[in-house]
Amino acid sequence: MRCGVGPLLLAIDVGTGSCRAVLFDTKGNQLAAGQREYVHPAVQGVPGSQNFDTATNWRLICDCIREALIAATAAPASVAAVAATSMREGMVLYGPDDTEIWACPNIDSRAADEARELVSSGAAQEIYAHAGDWVAITAPARFLWLARRQPEILEATKRMGMLADWVTTRLCGEFSTEASIGSSSGMFELSKRQWSDKIIDLCGLDGRIFPPVVEAGSVVGAVTPQAAYHTGLRAGTPVVAAGADTQLALVGLGTADPSRATIVGGSHWQLTTVLDAPVIDPQARLRTLCHTIPDRWMIEGIGFACGLVMRWFRDGFCDVEKLRASSAGKDPYEFLEGLATELPPGANGVFGIFSNVMQASRWIHAAPAFVGFDVSDPAGSALAACFRAIEESAAYVSLAHLRVVEELVGVGPGPVTLTGGAAKGVLWPHIVADALGVPVEIPVVKESTALGAAIYAGVGAGLWRSPGDATAMLSGVDRVVDPDGAKSAAYETLFERWLELNGALVKIADRGVARPLWRAAGT
If DSSP codes are grouped into helix, strand and coil, which group holds residue 379?
A: coil
Q: What is the predicted pLDDT for the residue at 500?
A: 98
**Structural domain includes residue 4:** no
Q: What is the predicted pLDDT for the residue at 473?
A: 83
Among residues 168, 258, 150, which one has the least CA distance to residue 211? 168
Distance (Å) of CA 422 to CA 324, 361, 399, 419, 448: 21, 28, 16, 7, 12
Number of H helices, E strands in the chain: 17, 22
**pLDDT level of residue 5 (50, 70, 90 thresholds):** low
Q: Give the amino acid at 9.
A: L
Per-residue pLDDT at 157 exceeds 60: yes
Mean pLDDT of 372-382: 95
Instruction: Supply the DSSP string of 205-217, one letter for each residue.
Output: --GGGSPPEE-TT
**Structural domain includes residue 352:** yes
131 close to 190: Cβ distance less than 8 angstroms = yes
**Structural domain includes residue 181:** no
Among residues 448, 392, 438, 395, which one has the least CA distance to residue 416? 438
- Cα 402 from Cα 260, distance rounded (Å): 11
- 440, 369, 407, 482: CA torsion to nearest 10: 20
Residue range 339-368, pLDDT digits in tens: 999 999 999 999 999 999 999 999 999 999
Residue range 318-347, pLDDT digits in tens: 999 999 999 999 999 999 999 999 999 999
Q: How far is CA 281 from the centre of its chain?
A: 20
- Cα 82 from Cα 170, distance rounded (Å): 12
Give, in degrees to the nearest 5, the angle at Cα 110 between 105 and 111: 110
Q: What is the predicted pLDDT for the residue at 397?
A: 98
**Structural domain includes residue 125:** no
| Sign of the C-alpha dihedral computed for residues 57, 63, 66 and 72 taken in this order | negative
CATH of the domain at 421: 3.30.420.40
Cβ–Cβ contacts within 10 Å for residue 98, how many?
Answer: 11
Backbone angles phi, psi at 387, to 5 degrees: -60, -45
Q: Which residues pair with 52 in a beta bridge?
A: none
Residue range 163-174, pLDDT digits in tens: 999 999 999 999
Distance (Å) of CA 461 to CA 284, 288, 401: 40, 30, 37
Q: Domain of 354?
A: 303-439+483-510
Q: What is the predicted pLDDT for the residue at 2?
A: 44
Cβ–Cβ contacts within 10 Å for residue 71, how many?
Answer: 15
- Cα 156 from Cα 14, distance rounded (Å): 26
| Sign of the C-alpha dihedral computed for residues 7, 466, 415 and 131 taken in this order | positive
Instruction: Count the domains in the chain.
Output: 1
**Structural domain includes residue 177:** no
33 close to 68: Cβ distance less than 8 angstroms = yes
Among residues 289, 329, 330, 331, which one has the least CA distance to residue 310? 331
For 143, residues 6+ apart whose C-beta sits below 8 A from its C-beta are 154, 203, 205
Residue range 218-240, pLDDT digits in tens: 999 999 999 999 999 999 999 99
**Structural domain includes residue 396:** yes
**Structural domain includes residue 454:** no
Among residues 37, 6, 38, which one has the least CA distance to residue 24? 6
Q: Which residues pair with 448 in a beta bridge?
A: none
Residue range 202-222, pLDDT digits in tens: 999 999 999 999 999 999 999
